[in-house]
Amino acid sequence: MNAMNAPADTQPRIDQRPVPQFLLDALQQRFGAQYSSAQAVREQHGRDEGSIQAPPPAAVVFAESTQDVQDAVRLAAQHAVPVIAYGAGSSLEGHLLAVQGGISIDVGRMNRVLSIDADDLTVTVQPGITRKQLNEAIKDSGLFFPIDPGADASIGGMSATRASGTNAVRYGSMRENVLALEVVTASGDIIRTGTRAKKSSAGYDLTRLMVGSEGTLGIFTEVTLRLYPLPEAVSAAICSFPSIEAAVRTVIQTIQLGVPIARVELIDVHSVRMVNAHSKLTLREEPMLLMEFHGTPAGVQEQAETVQQIASEHGGQAFEWASTPEERTRLWTARHNAYFAAVQSRPGCRCISTDTCVPISRLADALLDSVAEAEASGIPYFLVGHVGDGNFHFGYLIDPNAPEERERAEALNHKLVARALRLGGTCTGEHGVGVHKMGFLVDEAGAGAVDMMRAIKQALDPQNILNPGKIFTL
C-alpha cells in the first residue's frame, strides 16, 4: 500500500458475536465466585488506557491457575466465542476492547513468582504479576528486572505487547528478555515454548512469535524472564538543553559512540511543566535529558564524563545528580508519571499517544518537524522519549467530546508515522498495534507481510477466538 490510510481507519469495527446464554451458564457453573457478569466489572474489563471505546465483554472470568485459563478457553472454543486476556488494563491501543464480543479472562490473580533461579539470572512468574510486584519479590536476590513501561503493567501484558521502557537502550525489550512461555492455545491445549537456556536453535522461535502477538495466538500462563545483577554503582543525572535539537544531538552522539548508558529519556518543556505540577518538583522548565548510568563505580564515572562532554558541546547545562536511591526513585517516578501528569493537566481529556521509533541517525529528522506540527496544531500535547532507542511519544490531549480535536490529533499522528516510515522506522516501538494502528501496520510491513501474519493466525486459531479484531482484520 502506498497511500497512508485515512484517519477514520483508527476507529475499530465493532461487530460483537452472540454469546450463548448456556455458555455463560456453563462458565458460572465452573467458576462460581470467579465469574462475573456485573455491568461494572464488564465495563472495567472492556477498556484500556487508550482513547478508543467499545461495548464491554459479556462476562469476566477471574482465572487463578493455568487450568482455569484452559477450561475457560475450552468452553469458549466449543461455541466459537472470543476470549480476551486481561492483565493490568494498562495497554494503550485498544488491545482489551471486546470489538467482537466474548469473554474477558482476567489473569490478575495469577501473580505468583513460581521460581527465582538467581544462579541462572532467570525467574519464572505467572502472567498477572506486575513489574513492580516482580521487582519487590526478587529484591533480596541481588537481581532486578529492568523492563519498565510507564504503567505498572503485568508481565503477561508486557510480553503480549512486546513492551519496553526506559531501560531498553541497555537491556533490550521484552523481545530480548522473555526466555520461555507456557501458553494456552486456541484449542485449549497447553504448550511450552523455549527453555531456560540462554540461546537455542531448536526449531521455530515460538517464544518470539508469541511475544508481541497481543493475545491473538495464545494466552500466556507462565513467563520465564532474564534477570540482571543489580549494578554495583548507579548514577542518575538530569541535564537541561537550550532546545530539543540540542538534546537529541547529544543522544545520537552518545549512542553512536557506544556508551553503554542504561537510560536516556527526553522530556520536553510541556512535560516538565506537567510533571512539576503533578509530582511537586521544581525541574528547570527547559527540554531535558534524564539519564542513568550502571556499572562499576569507575565505569559509571567514565560513562558520565563522556556524556557530559558531549552534552556541553551541544549547549547542555552541567549535570544535576540524583545520587541517593530515594532521589533517583523520585525522579524516575516523576518520569513514569508523565503520562498521568499530562492527562490530569487537562481535566476530562483522553490522550492519543504516538509511538514511532526510528534509526538513531534519523531521530532529529523524525522529531523536529513533528514538534513544529504539534505546536502549530493548537492541540495541547507533550513529548517524552526513550530517545536512546530512537523511540518517542507525543501525547495529544483531546477533548473526547470534540470530534474535530480527535481528527486533528490523528492527522498529526498520520504525518508523524508517515515520516517515521520514510526514515526506515516503525509505527510502534513498544505499544503494539491493537485496533488503533492496523492501517499503519499495512503501511509499514506491506500487504504481503501482513498476509503472512494472517495465515499464521488462521493456522493457529481457525475459529478466530483469541482476541479477534486486533493487529489486522481477517
Burial 202-236 (b: 16+ CB within 10 A, else e): eeeebbbbbbbbbbbbbbbbbbbbbbbeebeebbb
Q: What minimum distance in Å lies between the beta carbon of 194 and a second copy?
A: 8
Bridge partners, residue 391, by sequence? 357, 386
- We find the least distance from the C-beta atom of residue 139 to a second copy, in angstroms, to be 16
Residue 341, phi then psi, degrees to nearest 5:
-60, -40
* Stretch binding a second copy (CB under 8 A), from 38-46, 164-172, 283-291, 307-315: 164-172
Q: Minimal distance in Å, beta carbon 97 to a second copy?
A: 17
Number of residues that bind a second copy (CB under 8 A): 90
Amino acid at 148: D
Residues 387-416 contacting a second copy, CB under 8 A = 389-391
Q: CB of 147: closest distance to a second copy in angstroms? A: 11
169, amino acid identity: V
Q: How far apart are the first and last CA of the chain?
A: 17
Cell output for 461: 486459531
From 2-10, 17-25, 167-175, 276-284, give the range in contact with a second copy by CB under 8 A: 167-175
Provide CB contacts within 8 A for 321, sequence distance 6+. 235, 236, 237
Specify whether the CB–CB gap between 9 and 438 falls below 8 A. Answer: yes
Binding flag, residue 245, a second copy (CB under 8 A): no
Angle at which helix 403-422 crosses helix 438-445, to 10 degrees, equals 20
Among 347, 331, 323, which Cα is nearest to 279's?
Answer: 331
DSSP assignment of 302-346, as one string?
A: HHHHHHHHHHHHTTPPPPEEE-SHHHHHHHHHHHHTHHHHHHHHS
Residues 115 to 134 in contact with a second copy, rule: CB under 8 A: 117, 119-122
Binding test (CB under 8 A) with a second copy, winner from 114, 228, 284, 346 = 228
Tell me how far, at minimum, the Cβ of 261 lies from a second copy, in Å.
13
Judged by CB under 8 A, which stretch of 56-64, 68-76, 170-178, 283-291 contacts a second copy?
A: 170-178
| Residue 436 beta carbon to a second copy: minimum distance, rounded to whole angstroms | 12
Which residues, in sequence order, are CB contacts of 18 under 8 Å at separation 6+? 101
Instruction: Scan residues 175-194 and list those touching a second copy (CB under 8 A).
Output: 175-176, 185, 189-193
- Contact of 303 with 231, CB cutoff 8 Å: no
Q: Which of residues 257-286 bind a second copy (CB under 8 A)?
A: 257-258
Which residue among 398, 445, 465, 466 contacts a second copy (CB under 8 A)?
Answer: 445
Task: Report the residue from 206, 349, 412, 465 that binds a second copy according to the rule CB under 8 A.
Answer: 206
Position 368 contacts a second copy (CB under 8 A) = no
The residues in 299-318 that bind a second copy, with binding defined as CB under 8 A, are 299, 302
Nearer to a second copy, 270 or 294 (CB): 294
- Interacting positions 331-360 with a second copy (CB under 8 A): 355, 357-360
Rg (CA), the chain: 22
Nearer to a second copy, 98 or 441 (CB): 441
For the CB of residue 435, give the shortest distance to a second copy in the complex, in Å. 13
| Cβ-based nearer residue to a second copy, 309 or 361 | 361
Identity of the residue numbered 421: L
User: Footprint of a second copy on residues 28-87 (CB under 8 A)?
Assistant: none
* Smallest separation, CB 290 to a second copy (Å): 19
